[in-house]
Structure 1
Amino acid sequence: MEISSIIGAIVIGIVIGVLGRLVVPGRQRIGVVLTIVVGIVAALLGSAIAAAFGVADTKGPDWIEWFIQIALAAVGVAALDRARARR
């Protein structure tokens, strides 16, 4: 993996994590680093799911892939928030 792809994954992870965090209502008790990690994981899983369904490469913006990634990030942020709230 090249450094540019690692930096790209981090940037996409930041965007996806923040958007996923915005979707979840209320205040979340997770930090910025966990939001970025959730975003990176959601971006990778969302890309794999979109590729499995054949919607990863479309003409124009890949809206379905973005929707999947943001939904996964929202689920991840909500799950981590609930896990931290129980402690």
Structure 2
Amino acid sequence: MSFIWFLIVGLVAGWLAGLLVKGGGFGLIGNLVVGVVGAFLGGFLFRVFGASGGGGLLGSIIVATIGAVVLLFLVRLIKR
């Protein structure tokens, strides 16, 4: 069941990141991939900087969204 929650958090984070970063999202599957990879990136960045996103579902979505936004910025920089 936790894997399904992880996918749901990734999907929400990818969708939110697509809204926050100009250019929109990448569709359902693309947003899911960006959100899941962003969740790993966000978790890594938060650990490196010693920050905490809080606990629970909302904290997970915040960390994953921040990671997804960073990932989208990096992807857009590379595409240029």
Global fold match (TM > 0.5)? yes
What stretches of structure 2 of length at least 5 have no aligned partner? none
Structure holding more helix per residue: 2
8 Å CA contact retained: 1:16, 1:73: yes
Partner of 2:10: 13
Q: Moved runs in structure 1, 4+ residues, more than 4 A?
A: none
Q: How many residues align?
A: 77
Equivalent positions of 1:14-29 (< 5 A) are 14-28=11-25
Partner of 1:41: 37
| CA root-mean-square deviation | 3.2
| Deviation at residue 76 of structure 1 after TM alignment | 3.6
Give the fraction of aligned pairs with identical amino acids, expressed as a percent.
28
TM-score by length of 2: 0.66
8 Å CA contact retained: 1:47, 1:56: no
What stretches of structure 1 of length at least 5 have no aligned partner? none
